[in-house]
């Protein structure tokens, strides 16, 4: 969970954040940059809103829990930056990032996720995001990431930047657990990580609001792409893959 500090879910805070979302915010008159937060966990959304809203140069102009809500909020509130979680209700946050890039080429997105950088940072940048930061990061790093992206920069952690530069210099592709990140789709990556984190196909289906059959189809595709013969081999591969990262919860 992102480190928000104490008391960020007070009733006073929740009321103020909800009011801001419903009424919008005139960021042009205040000179503040408007931030739209897209996350399917209410505690995270409101905690982020309180954290960002305390900054003198930033203002939360909208909250959304799905890609559909986010696209509506963009039209209504015209944010300067969008913070997007990878795992959203019914869709992948990276698909939303791609759609935002297609519809609003100059609107920057920052991906904030519980997933480890090693698995998703480069995917997020390839999708069109201007930065990637994990929810384990200190508040100061998040605010730095927001301001850097607003100033047309790109943000990843120093450690991830070093790995990316190293791969660029050697011509290697991003890799985790013995296969390149390009082999699997975004959803298949999430399924693999969730399996490795101890979730069942039923758990994953409930988390996404999809059928178990849909998740099982993803599992079958993963096995085919990775040349795995059984569910046991898939689970073993998934566990091995998440050892260096953060399991899905």
pLDDT at residue 64 greater than cutoff 90: yes
Residue 171, pLDDT score: 57
pLDDT at residue 14 greater than cutoff 50: no
Q: Number of H helices and number of E strands within the chain?
A: 12, 9
DSSP letter at 173 equals P
Taking the C-alpha atoms of residue 102 and residue 107, their distance in angstroms, rounded to an integer, is 10
Residue 170, class by beta-carbon neighbours within 10 Å (0-12 exposed, 13-18 middle, 19+ buried)? Answer: exposed
Residue 49 or 89, more confident: 49
Q: Domain limits of the chain?
A: 11-164, 175-242
Contact 17, 49 (CB under 8 A): yes
Report the phi/psi class of residue 111: left, alpha or beta, with left for phi > 0 and alpha for psi in -120 to 50. beta
The tens digit of pLDDT for each residue in 78-100 reads 999 999 998 887 778 999 999 99
Q: What is the mean pLDDT of residues 137-166?
A: 88
% of residues, the chain, pLDDT over 70: 77
Taking the C-alpha atoms of residue 93 and residue 222, their distance in angstroms, rounded to an integer, is 20
Question: Considering the domain 175-242, what is its CATH architecture?
Answer: Orthogonal Bundle (1.10)
The tens digit of pLDDT for each residue in 180-198 reads 446 788 788 888 888 888 8
Degrees to nearest 5, angle at CA 36 with 88 and 108: 90
Class of domain 11-164: alpha beta
């Amino acid at each position: 969970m992102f480190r928000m500090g104490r008391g960020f879910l007070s009733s006073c805070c929740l009321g103020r954040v909800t009011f801001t979302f419903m009424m919008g915010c005139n960021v042009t008159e205040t000179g503040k940059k408007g931030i739209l937060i897209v996350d399917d966990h209410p505690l995270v959304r409101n905690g982020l809103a309180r954290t960002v809203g305390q900054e003198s140069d930033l203002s939360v102009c909208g909250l959304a829990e799905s890609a559909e809500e986010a696209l509506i909020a963009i039209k209504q509130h015209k944010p300067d930056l969008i913070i997007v979680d990878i795992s959203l209700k019914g869709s992948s946050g990276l698909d939303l990032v791609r759609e935002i890039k297609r519809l609003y080429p100059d609107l920057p997105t920052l991906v904030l996720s519980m997933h480890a950088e090693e698995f998703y940072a480069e995917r997020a940048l390839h999708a069109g995001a201007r930065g990637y930061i994990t929810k384990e990061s200190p508040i100061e790093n998040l605010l730095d990431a927001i301001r850097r992206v607003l100033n047309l920069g790109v943000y990843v952690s120093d450690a991830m930047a070093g790995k990316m530069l190293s791969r660029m210099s050697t011509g290697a592709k991003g890799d985790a657990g013995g296969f390149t990140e390009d082999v699997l789709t975004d959803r298949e990556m999430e399924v693999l990580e969730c399996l490795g984190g101890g979730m069942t196909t039923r758990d994953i289906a409930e988390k996404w609001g999809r059928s178990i059959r849909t998740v099982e189809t993803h599992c079958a595709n993963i096995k085919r792409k990775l040349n795995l013969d059984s569910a046991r081999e898939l689970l073993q591969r998934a566990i091995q893959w998440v050892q260096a990262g953060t399991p899905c919860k």
